[in-house]
Amino acid sequence: MKLITAIIKPFKLDGVREALSNIGIHGVTVSEVKGFGRQKGHTELYRGAEYMVDFLPKTKLEIAVTKDQVEQVIESICKEAATGKIGDGKIFVSELEQVVRIRTGELGENAIL
């Protein structure tokens, strides 16, 4: 089992959610986060004063999947989240040791399918 963590632009969330649903992924955790990478923030004007915004708003998705689903999930996220511009985001894939469905006590892949 794997945990896929994707950091994307907030306005891309609906398209990514729909693409994941189309490939049979129905469990996704979404968080509003802030961060920066190569984009390094930007300047804004507020009441006539310019200031630096270091951390940009992003959306973080966490998706628990089986090993067989990993490539398809990555392809779907990349296709829907890409704008071709800096700041499109990143995808991280981590190993999941155990998953437990609290309601039923199901373990492992049975808990995420």
pLDDT of residue 92: 98
Average confidence (pLDDT) over 69-96 = 95
Q: What is the pLDDT of residue 44?
A: 60
> For 7-66, what is each residue's pLDDT tens digit?
999 999 999 999 999 999 989 999 999 887 776 666 666 677 766 667 788 999 999 999
The H or E element that residue 69 is part of is none
More confident residue, 98 or 43: 98
Amino acid letter for position 72: Q
Residue 113, pLDDT score? 86
> Do 2 and 94 touch, CB atoms closer than 8 A?
yes
Q: What is the pLDDT of residue 38?
A: 72
Residue span of the structural domain in which 19 resides: 2-112
Tell me, what CATH number does 38's domain have?
Answer: 3.30.70.120
Total tally of structural domains belonging to the chain: 1
